[in-house]
């Protein structure tokens, strides 16, 4: 699925919540940095990076259904705009330090020192976007 420009601008500007499903069916909520990347077919996917194999990685390997929410800092109206994305995730080994460095530089500027130079290769989570909603120009 291809995101509209307003959704693309919101993604990567602030942390997002990533919700995965625990083995018992309960939600597992994490705060993550996320970016949007083009797919081979011209659509968009969300990508997050993780240095360690946290519970969210184990959950996705078992059940790839996820939800991501990003809240806008725009407070110009009575409702707080937010972007809600539901999708299917897959884990890729390696690449986390490079993506985290890119996102940290985008949010905070150069020289953040994160991740550290000796960071492990970690994991990338690629999220295929299946449904977009929320409150804002991206909502359908």
Q: What is the pLDDT of residues 32-85, one digit of tens each?
A: 999 999 999 999 999 999 999 999 999 999 999 999 999 998 777 788 899 999
CATH topology of domain 5-135: Pnp Oxidase; Chain A (2.30.110)
Peptide bond into 115 cis (omega under 30): yes
Quick check: pTM over 0.85?
yes
Q: Write the pLDDT tens digit of every residue in 79-133.
A: 889 999 999 999 999 999 999 999 999 888 888 888 999 999 999 999 999 999 9
Mean pLDDT value of segment 15-31? 97
What order do you get walking across the sheet with 34-38 strand by strand?
27-32, 16-21, 65-71, 82-93, 123-135, 44-50, 34-38
Query: Domain-by-domain residue ranges, the chain?
Result: 5-135
Band of pLDDT at residue 30, cut at 50, 70 and 90: very high
């Amino acid at each position: 699925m291809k995101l509209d420009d307003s959704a693309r601008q919101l993604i990567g500007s602030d942390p997002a919540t990533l919700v995965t499903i625990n083995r018992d069916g309960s939600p597992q909520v994490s705060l993550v940095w996320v970016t949007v990347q083009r797919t081979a077919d011209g659509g968009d996917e969300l990508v997050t990076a993780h240095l360690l194999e946290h519970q969210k990685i184990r959950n996705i390997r078992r059940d790839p259904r996820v939800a991501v929410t990003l809240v806008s800092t725009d407070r110009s109206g009575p409702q707080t705009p937010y972007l809600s994305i539901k999708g299917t995730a897959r884990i890729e080994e390696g690449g986390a330090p490079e993506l985290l460095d890119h996102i940290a530089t985008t949010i905070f500027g150069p020289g953040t020192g994160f991740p550290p130079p000796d960071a492990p290769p970690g994991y990338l989570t690629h999220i295929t976007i299946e449904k977009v909603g929320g409150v804002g120009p991206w909502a359908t």
